């Protein structure tokens, strides 16, 4: 399938999805989100793709949902089309690791999509905000929920109630961003991290992802039980045997996803 609002590239085991709507600072129109959904479906069913990177331009990861497209919609419109749920949340359901590489504006729905990824790597130019309050609404793609879990109630409240922008350093200190790189090095550093993850057992990688995400859904006792069972299950894989034998044999492991 050819895309108009995103660019999709495969670099070895890493698939890179780049938002490409510069005329609107990558604002998410419906067509763009349909393409993101299609691209993630394609990556998920392609066994050669081990890690997905989602990025934007130097100026903007994304300036949020497309306000011009949304402005005239009624309750009936958004309810019937299942706005957001229908085509935005595919990223959050992806079982393969997804890294957001953010430079420039990461606002509203842009920040919400970045938070649906497994972690955020930021350029020192990145600016984060949930500005929906300034246009008479509230975050609608998980901002009040995921941001609160990442940065805590006080900071999430302050950010969502004022709509102010937070720079990369503040975002890292607050726990929204995993690491910061100089803007010129963001993609090279992101690819290094993605390639490292891609070199590990894809089964173990998926189990780590599932287990950490479970921490947000359950009690500590149930989360620990879930982790323990997945840990036990990993002993049924060839990759666990290979990884541990390679360690004792002082050689590099070669994982097969079996």
List 132, 156, 171, 172, catalytic entry: 132
Q: Pick between residue 56 and residue 109 the one whose CB is nearest to ligand CAA.
A: 109
Q: Pick between residue 139 and residue 202 the one whose CB is nearest to ligand CAA.
A: 139
CA 252 from centre of chain:
29
Q: Whole-angstrom Cα distance, residue 165 to residue 182? A: 19
The residues, any chain, with a CB within 8 Å of residue 68's CB and separated by 6 or more, are 24, 27
Question: Does the annotation mark 222 as catalytic?
Answer: no
Question: Does the annotation mark 65 as catalytic?
Answer: yes
List 39, 65, 103, 126, catalytic entry: 65
Q: Pick between residue 131 and residue 202 the one whose CB is nearest to ligand CAA.
A: 131
List 109, 110, 140, 142, catalytic entry: 109
List 112, 141, 171, 194, catalytic entry: 112
What is the closest distance, in whole angstroms, from the C-beta atom of residue 214 to ligand CAA in the complex?
Answer: 25
Q: Whole-angstrom Cα distance, residue 118 to residue 213? A: 9
- Helix axis angle, 109-116 to 143-151, nearest 10°: 60
What is the closest distance, in whole angstroms, from the C-beta atom of residue 74 to ligand CAA in the complex?
Answer: 16
Q: Pick between residue 62 and residue 101 the one whose CB is nearest to ligand CAA.
A: 62
What secondary structure does DSSP assign to 92-131, as a single string?
HH-SS-EEEEE-SEEETHHHHHHHHSSEEEEETT-EEE-G
What is the closest distance, in whole angstroms, from the C-beta atom of residue 111 to ligand CAA in the complex?
Answer: 8
Q: Whole-angstrom Cα distance, residue 94 to residue 69? A: 26
Q: Pick between residue 109 and residue 202 the one whose CB is nearest to ligand CAA.
A: 109
The residues, any chain, with a CB within 8 Å of residue 144's CB and separated by 6 or more, are 138, 156, 160
CB 84 within 8 A of CB 140: yes
Q: Is 51 helix (H, G, I), strand (E, B) or coil?
A: strand
Q: What is the CA radius of gyration of the chain?
A: 19
Question: Does the annotation mark 109 as catalytic?
Answer: yes
Binding site for ligand CAA (CB under 6 A): 24-25, 27, 63-68, 84, 105, 107-109, 112, 131-132, 135, 139-141, 143
What is the closest distance, in whole angstroms, from the C-beta atom of residue 213 to ligand CAA in the complex?
Answer: 21
CB 174 within 8 A of CB 128: no
What is the closest distance, in whole angstroms, from the C-beta atom of residue 240 to ligand CAA in the complex?
Answer: 41
Residues labelled as active-site residues:
65, 109, 112, 132
């Amino acid at each position: 399938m050819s895309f108009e609002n995103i660019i999709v590239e495969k670099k070895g085991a890493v698939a890179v999805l780049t938002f490409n709507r510069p005329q609107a600072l990558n604002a998410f129109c419906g067509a763009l989100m349909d393409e993101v959904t299609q691209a993630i479906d394609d990556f998920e069913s392609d066994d050669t793709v081990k890690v997905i990177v989602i990025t934007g331009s130097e100026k903007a990861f994304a300036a949020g949902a497309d306000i011009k497209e949304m402005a005239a919609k009624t309750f009936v419109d958004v309810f019937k089309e299942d706005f957001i749920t229908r085509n935005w949340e595919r990223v959050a359901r992806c079982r393969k690791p997804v890294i957001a590489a953010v430079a420039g504006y990461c606002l509203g729905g842009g920040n919400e999509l970045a938070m649906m990824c497994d972690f955020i790597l930021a350029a020192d130019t990145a600016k984060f905000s949930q500005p929906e309050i300034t246009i008479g609404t509230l975050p609608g793609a998980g901002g009040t929920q995921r941001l609160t879990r990442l940065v805590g109630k006080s900071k999430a409240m302050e950010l969502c109630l004022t709509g102010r922008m937070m720079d990369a350093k503040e975002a890292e200190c607050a726990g929204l961003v995993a690491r910061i790189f100089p803007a010129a090095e963001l993609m090279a550093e992101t690819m290094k991290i993605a390639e490292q993850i891609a070199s590990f057992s894809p089964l173990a990688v998926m189990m780590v992802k599932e287990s950490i995400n479970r921490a947000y859904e359950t009690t500590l006792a149930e989360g620990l039980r879930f982790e323990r069972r997945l840990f036990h299950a990993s002993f049924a894989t060839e990759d666990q045997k290979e990884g541990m034998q390679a360690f004792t044999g002082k050689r590099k492991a070669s994982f097969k996803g079996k």
